[in-house]
Chain A
Amino acid sequence: MSTKTVSHNKHVFDEKEVIHELKHFLPAQNPLKDFVHHNTLHAFQDMKFFEGIRRASEIFGYNVSLSLDEYRALYAQGRIREDVLDKILLEKFGASNVKNWKNKLVSETYEANFLPRIGNLRANWKKSYQIDLDSMVHPTLFRIICGFLDQGIAIWGFPEKDKGFLDSLKEMERNSYSSYFRGKRAKDLLLKTDCRIKDLLQILVGDESLYTQYLYDQQFAHQGWSGMVSAVEDFPETLLDSRKISLQDAITFELLLEIDAIDFHCGNNWSPLSQNLSDKPIDLFADVEETEVHKVLKIWQEAFEWTYYDEVLAGIKLKNATSKPAHELTFQAMFCIDDRECSIRRYLEQFDTSCETFGTPGFFGVEFFFQPEGGQFYTKVCPAPVTPKYLVKEKNEVAFKGVKLKKDLHFSKHSHSFYSGWLISQTLGFWSAVKLFGSIFRPSMSPATSSSFKHMDKHAGLTVQHTHHEQEENGLQVGFEINEMVDRVEGTLKSIGLVKDFAPIVYVVGHGASSVNNPHFAAYDCGACCGRAGSANARVLSEMANKPEVRTMLRERGIDIPDTTQFVGALHDTTRDEVAFFDEKLLSEANYANHLKYEKIFEKSLDYNAKERSRRFESIATNLTPAMIHEKIKIRSVSLFEPRPELNHATNALCIVGRRNLTKGLFLDRRSFLNSYDYSIDPEGKYLFNIMKAAAPVCGGINLEYYFSRVDNQKLGAGTKLPHNVMGLIGVANGIDGDLRPGLPSQMIEVHDPVRILFIVEHFPDVVLDTIKRLYATYEWFINEWVNLVVVNPETKELFSFQKGEFVPYNPLTKDLQKISDITPLLESTQDNFPVYLIGA
């Protein structure tokens, strides 16, 4: 539903519609364990980017871009280039106005003080009634909702949780000697009436035309909890211990608490808010004019983005064509498109010039639920919007649960009770001191660590193949049929353009992350696997592709994988820079011997990758040897006191869909998602369609979440993580009475440059245009400019930029790029972002 409809019928209050709209605007972040990146301002995506963020800012008071001073500083540092700025001004305002506008950009002062529209109506409680409603209602409300949704922190859980939220509260209020309410009226309203929101608003607000705004004001005073309630309502399965709650319930209860608080404060005789209102606040969703300062910020932002894009595009044009290695291929390796895999691929190719690497979303085209041995639940390992029909189980004869589930008594709830607490504090207490000492001076893996290698046991088997005596489980088919496997293997291989010239070993490398003391652990894992490690998927694809029956059928479909070729699953831990290979025992003798050699190449590459990453870390000297740095990187990942085990997607800015040739030899500083794709085997864009359908929301979502968390870390991000307190295992808050903090903590985004992602697709413009238009949900990202798009003509290398629905030729302003032969001195030089370099002699 469009945001504009709200204003039309504002005089009639339609509860359902308002709540539906409200849910659309609330943060859509799932509980911690299912953290998936998404566009923070998704509710405005039906508008052009700059219009959407302008509205969001005016209505909700978000900062939506860097500040004018920050842009000017970037300009002064040369990180916004003058020629790029001039070009944009010229295109927008014509030659005669360039100077005038440039003056405005560089030196005009603008009144920066503004008040958002949200909250103005409800502010009258304080103004006219001298009552601080939020501080009377919020602590109780948060505590009750958190207690209800709690997944296992409380020892004594919510007494009534099988019914819905409001029904549970009714039951408790009815059957108790105490009450959450201070007075009688609210309690009676709850127990004796049907508590319609409209009736409660009648008591509180009085004027129907104000109801909608009142609810927005109310819910956006604590958008964290409201968003969580809304997310759990929409996806109840996201809580393992499920709860029935709806935003409607939560609002009803909050309105009751408000009535109760005002009763308590003013006695039973008070008139509704509308009666003491001098003038009505401006309609929340009224149009927002574009002012000059909006224009100025917009131009700065575009200039900032194109300064970087221009170099990258120049690089693609300038670099020499690298042909396929002449001699025989040693191995091929498939990685996730993740920007963190960008550099490890470069090192592999550097240390073994006869290998090839590919990038594809890290679930490798196999979508399923995964159930580890001993697990009570299924966990989804594919992109969030996909709902798989398959179940893959981990099978293990060895009782290894102990390894995965090592206990740590410090998390035991016994220490919180009366007598066992007495014993524990006098015994374990002293052990804590020893442990603390150890974890400060010699950090090591502990049960508290969240490690990607725990996702799936290396030695366990997987039920990849469906056998008919295994029945369905909860509506899911256990394993895949052969033809289903063939479809998936074919799809994955064709989409990355790997249909011939197979090397003897093809590695399929998923990725995950390790960290400790990190409630946002799921955000560090593979986004294409729904915030899990990609190990199971890598293994499943390998097993499928190794099956002779699958190979036979693939040959019929034009993919001839030689019998000597074997696929090997693997997992790259991006925090520790370690790789684990799976089922390497199944390799043929010759392949196994080679594998041992390649393993060394992986190890070397990982050392160098660690070194490259370390340049961003203050605590590691980047000029040490790669092996020494790697050790430090590993220690870092298990250090309790390290709030930045890795920097995740920070600095991401590009998504390149094309052959590796397009980018090989360019130094992109780990800023690019790389999706392999060969236009020549996909003339109609069939595979491209699938790639774009997934890449736009996934990469765009990651990029925009970083963007918004960076430009307004307080309202759109989670603020610094240092004071965070884990609430009910579902979210984090500051202190004990605070609202949940969705978005990313400052430690994740501080080095990020807020630029929209640039998609670079290697194909012919008309095919690309046709492809992205096929599905509006995908097209919306591009046409509304939430991401940028440039197409590279694969034959001529001409560039075309997507502007207002069509492709227009683009000629980079950058004519020359610096060439470097060895990047090591560069890496050791600075912590900041690098420009694009050509690598090679």
Chain B
Amino acid sequence: MTQLLNYFILLPVFGFLISLLIPDKKETFISSVAFGTVGLHLVSAILFAISWFIKGCPTLNVKDIDVFRTTGYDFFVDLYLDKITIVYLLVGALLTFMVTIYSRYYLHREAGYKRFYNTILFFYVGYNVAIFSGNLETLFIGWEVLGLSSFLLIAFYRERYLPVKNAVKVFSIYRIGDVGLILAMWMSHHLWHENITFLKLNNFELVHEHLQSHSFIGVFISLMILITAAAKSAQLPFSSWLPRAMEGPTPSTAIFYGSLSVHLGVFLLMRTFSFWEQQTSVRILIGLLGLSTAIITTGIARVQSSVKSQIAYASISQIGLIFIEVALGFENLALFHFAGNAFLRTYQLLVSPSVASYLIREQFYNFSPHESSVEVSIFSKKLQNTFYILCTKEWNLDSFMYRLLWNPLKWGGNKLNFMTLRRVLIFFSVVYGVGLFCVHHKELISPTIQAYLPVTFATIGLIMVLKAFTERRRATMSWVLVVMNHFWIALAVSFNELFTFNQVYLYLSGVVVAGAFGFFCLRKLKSHENTIDLDQFHGHSYKHPKLAFLFLLACLGISGFPITPTFVGEDLIFTHIHENQIVLASFVSLSLIIDGLAIIRIYARVFIGPHTKSQHEVAYRSS
């Protein structure tokens, strides 16, 4: 039975790969593959769940593959199944199955028919990897896949401005969640001295013993998990991304943001429950976060005058309540609530276009001009106006995120306008050379200085990547800086302790290959289109779809997506940051956040968005 877990991962992977190979125009073939894959998955899931239930609901765990092993470090894929997995599996399979069928006709003749199904299957891969994951590392793989498929689906109408802009926005929030997860992995490695499985976390005594001696580390990990969960489930202060993600075709919006994707934060909390169960302060915090989200977003939902944003906020508020249930330890209730909320919102979103005829009819027969809502009876006029304005402005959450995230970065980046590709390259070769020399001759440098060097190099990397993120003119310059950042990180961490260069190679090999590959793509594009600045969207995927796809692969490779060794390397490098090097850890993680943002920004600006040449039909920017 345990071995069957693999099957649940491999089936969608297989379906996804096949779907990539089908020609664009074969609508029936494409949808049949999706239908077959998800349908088979659903049937297997149901049969599996029944037999699992008959056998008395055992908890299953299988250590799958060792991806990388060295002394004191073992990166392995681990699969795990319990009640939570089963519920997420059944709900996910059922909804995805229904939506694949639904979209078969709904998307007929849409230009991105194939792309849509590719992305849905890709999403489904990520979803299953996440819910079957047996350790944080495996979960992280699924998490990354989900984030990317989200980006691709939000930007599904890539020839329009707003979907692309919002896709980048949502991606940046997800990126915060990702780094939360990386930091949680980093600290937990130091806590357990291994990549601990969720199965082991169920051991109450073990967790208790470790937390006793490391209560700060415990709280840190829990907080990182909470941030990740809150970002994914659109809890405060991240809530405003969810309605903005509703740019794709209605069915994809329905399963992603109505149901499955948005409930994965809840999943993460439930999955790690046994870890933070004993930290009362964390539980109170989760409960309070859920409660305040529920209250605030209910208010926002009530003033929404567009049907999808109303459903989005209503859903967030229910997830807030689920957070409370999880914090209180009502696991069954939370699972039940999750399933109900997922089904309800999916259906509500799918029938949302009907709201026009339905409500207009209702208005026609039942209208009463003096209907008033609850607020009128509770608040004074002045408070009513105040709350109404705040709710329509979403309590400034969106601009808050903007100000908190982008403005400081932009400000910093703009200070770096003096940098040019040549200067950067010269600087890099000189300073990096010195850095390498120092690594190899540590004995020559006083320990005091040595202690500062990692942070220094990390800072240089951070500055470089900041410049990459705000570069307006040359895409290649931005790209080169992004690639360099990884070198700086590697250098910085090299000072920490003696580890074999194999590990650095592991880390940088992917970066180098993907970096060169991406550079080549940009060069090639430039030879066709002359200018590729980053000041506006260019939408070159319109004319160069293949190049766009290849470049996307390069972006994935370089941002540590699980297709190159860099993915393992990134995690590995992190383990060499000591638990007391908070500054270094935060600098490195910050530069990884911005790195990801800079990469997605290059891709978005160069390849998607409205096409610069106006001989094609171009939509209004505001549409």
CB distance B107 to A722 under 8 Å?
yes
Q: Which residues of chain B are near A521, meaning CB under 8 Å?
A: 356-357
B94 within 8 A of A: yes
CB distance B309 to A736 under 8 Å?
yes
B305 within 8 A of A: yes
Stretch touching chain A among B17-25, B443-451, B560-568, B612-620: B612-620
B110 within 8 A of A: yes
Residue from the set A223, A429, A440, A518 with the largest chain B CB neighbour count within 10 Å = A429
Instruction: Give the docked Cα–Cα distance between A151 and B157 (Å).
Output: 29
CB distance A405 to B344 under 8 Å?
no
CB distance B617 to A151 under 8 Å?
no
Instruction: Give the docked Cα–Cα distance between A401 and B109 (Å).
Output: 39
Instruction: Give the docked Cα–Cα distance between A177 and B352 (Å).
Output: 34
Instruction: Give the docked Cα–Cα distance between A139 and B240 (Å).
Output: 13
CB of B394, distance to nearest CB on chain A (Å) = 9
Residue from the set A437, A644, A719, A723 with the largest chain B CB neighbour count within 10 Å = A723
Q: Is the interface of A mostly helix, strand, loop or mixed?
A: loop
Q: A140-B393, A146-B305 are in contact. Are A436 and B621 (CB under 8 A)?
A: no
CB distance A425 to B341 under 8 Å?
yes
Q: Which residues of chain B are near A160, meaning CB under 8 Å?
A: 385
CB of B253, distance to nearest CB on chain A (Å) = 8
CB distance A33 to B360 under 8 Å?
yes
CB distance B321 to A422 under 8 Å?
yes
B166 within 8 A of A: yes
B202 within 8 A of A: no
A516 within 8 A of B: yes
Give how many A-B residue pairs fall within 8 Å (CB-CB): 337
**How would residues 56 to 87 of chain A score, 1 for a CB under 8 Å from any chain B CB and 0 otherwise?**
00000101000100000000000000000000
CB distance B344 to A735 under 8 Å?
no
Q: Is the interface of B mostly helix, strand, loop or mixed?
A: helix
CB distance A727 to B389 under 8 Å?
no
Instruction: Give the docked Cα–Cα distance between A435 and B102 (Å).
Output: 13
Q: Which residues of chain A are near B390, meaning CB under 8 Å?
A: 178
CB of B302, distance to nearest CB on chain A (Å) = 4
| Chain A residue at smallest Cβ distance from B336 | A426
Q: Which residues of chain A are near B393, meaning CB under 8 Å?
A: 140, 178, 180
Q: A641-B102, A735-B246 are in contact. Are A113 and B613 (CB under 8 A)?
A: yes
A775 within 8 A of B: no
Q: Which residues of chain A are near B107, meaning CB under 8 Å?
A: 722
CB distance B318 to A153 under 8 Å?
no
A254 within 8 A of B: no
CB distance A447 to B358 under 8 Å?
yes
B622 within 8 A of A: yes
Q: Which residues of chain B are near A425, meaning CB under 8 Å?
A: 318, 337, 340-341, 344-345
A374 within 8 A of B: yes
Contact of B623 among A32, A33, A159, A224 (CB under 8 A): A224
| Chain B residue at smallest Cβ distance from A135 | B165
Contact of B162 among A147, A157, A436, A735 (CB under 8 A): A735
CB distance A729 to B355 under 8 Å?
yes
CB distance B360 to A151 under 8 Å?
yes
**How would residues 582 to 623 of chain B score, 1 for a CB under 8 Å from any chain A CB and 0 otherwise?**
000000000000000000000000000000011101111111
| Chain B residue at smallest Cβ distance from A411 | B358
Instruction: Give the docked Cα–Cα distance between A330 and B557 (Å).
Output: 76
Which A residues between 440 and 462 are near B, CB-CB below 8 angstroms?
Answer: 440, 447-450, 454
**How would residues 573 to 595 of chain A score, 1 for a CB under 8 Å from any chain B CB and 0 otherwise?**
00000000000000000000000
CB distance A734 to B306 under 8 Å?
no
CB distance B306 to A640 under 8 Å?
no
A208 within 8 A of B: no
Stretch touching chain A among B6-14, B363-371, B538-546: B363-371
B194 within 8 A of A: no
| Chain A residue at smallest Cβ distance from B28 | A618
B199 within 8 A of A: no
CB of B304, distance to nearest CB on chain A (Å) = 6
Which B residues between 321 and 371 are near A, CB-CB below 8 angstroms?
Answer: 321, 336-337, 339-348, 350-367, 369
Q: A376-B365, A726-B307, A726-B355 are in contact. Are A737 and B385 (CB under 8 A)?
A: no
Instruction: Give the docked Cα–Cα distance between A722 and B163 (Å).
Output: 13
| Chain B residue at smallest Cβ distance from A149 | B305
| Chain B residue at smallest Cβ distance from A407 | B362
Q: A415-B314, A518-B357 are in contact. Are A221 and B305 (CB under 8 A)?
A: no
Q: Which residues of chain B are near A144, meaning CB under 8 Å?
A: 392
Q: Which residues of chain A are near B614, meaning CB under 8 Å?
A: 61, 113-115
Q: Which residues of chain A are near B573, meaning CB under 8 Å?
A: none
A739 within 8 A of B: yes
CB distance A153 to B367 under 8 Å?
no
A728 within 8 A of B: yes
CB distance B105 to A179 under 8 Å?
no
Contact of A436 among B314, B337, B346, B391 (CB under 8 A): B346
CB distance A376 to B302 under 8 Å?
no
Which A residues between 133 and 154 are near B, CB-CB below 8 angstroms?
Answer: 134-135, 138-140, 143-144, 146-147, 150-154
CB distance A153 to B621 under 8 Å?
no
CB distance A726 to B295 under 8 Å?
no
B517 within 8 A of A: no
B384 within 8 A of A: yes
CB distance B615 to A428 under 8 Å?
no
Instruction: Give the docked Cα–Cα distance between A372 and B617 (Å).
Output: 44
Q: A144-B392, A159-B384 are in contact. Are A734 and B160 (CB under 8 A)?
A: yes
A712 within 8 A of B: yes
B381 within 8 A of A: yes
Q: A429-B340, A723-B250, A726-B307 are in contact. Are A180 and B389 (CB under 8 A)?
A: yes
Q: A175-B381, A175-B385, A178-B390 are in contact. Are A715 and B620 (CB under 8 A)?
A: yes
Instruction: Give the docked Cα–Cα distance between A404 and B110 (Å).
Output: 34
CB distance B298 to A618 under 8 Å?
no
CB distance A724 to B353 under 8 Å?
yes
**How would residues 360 to 379 of chain A score, 1 for a CB under 8 Å from any chain B CB and 0 otherwise?**
00000000000010111101
Q: Which residues of chain A are near B251, meaning CB under 8 Å?
A: 641
CB distance A448 to B306 under 8 Å?
no
Q: A418-B294, A436-B98 are in contact. Are A375 and B365 (CB under 8 A)?
A: yes
Contact of B382 among A32, A176, A440, A726 (CB under 8 A): A176
A236 within 8 A of B: no
CB distance B388 to A156 under 8 Å?
yes
CB distance A32 to B360 under 8 Å?
yes
CB distance B388 to A32 under 8 Å?
no
A424 within 8 A of B: yes
CB distance A404 to B361 under 8 Å?
yes
Which B residues between 79 and 111 are near A, CB-CB below 8 angstroms?
Answer: 94-95, 98, 101-110
CB distance B341 to A159 under 8 Å?
no
| Chain B residue at smallest Cβ distance from A31 | B360
CB distance B305 to A728 under 8 Å?
yes
Instruction: Give the docked Cα–Cα distance between A722 and B381 (Å).
Output: 40
Q: Which residues of chain B are near A516, meaning CB under 8 Å?
A: 354
Q: Which residues of chain B are near A619, meaning CB under 8 Å?
A: 105, 108
CB distance B305 to A143 under 8 Å?
yes
Q: Which residues of chain A are near B134, meaning CB under 8 Å?
A: none
CB of B414, distance to nearest CB on chain A (Å) = 10
CB distance B355 to A153 under 8 Å?
yes
Q: Which residues of chain B are near A429, meaning CB under 8 Å?
A: 339-344
**Known A405-B361, A411-B351; further 14 A-B contacts with Cβ < 8 A:** A155-B310, A176-B386, A180-B392, A222-B620, A372-B365, A405-B366, A416-B311, A426-B340, A429-B340, A429-B344, A448-B351, A723-B248, A736-B306, A738-B622
Q: Which 4 A-B pairs have the closest CB atoms?
A: A429-B340, A416-B314, A432-B347, A176-B385
Instruction: List 14 A–B pairs whose Cβ atoms lie within 8 Å, in order of A's numbering.
Output: A135-B165, A152-B363, A154-B305, A154-B310, A175-B381, A178-B385, A223-B620, A241-B363, A425-B340, A640-B102, A715-B619, A725-B307, A739-B622, A739-B623
Chain A residues in the interface with B (C-beta under 8 A): 32-33, 61, 63, 67, 112-115, 134-135, 138-140, 143-144, 146-147, 150-160, 172, 175-180, 221-224, 240-241, 372, 374-377, 379, 401, 404-405, 408, 410-411, 415-418, 421-422, 424-430, 432-433, 435-437, 440, 447-450, 454, 516-519, 521, 618-619, 639-644, 712-715, 719-729, 733-739, 741, 747, 750
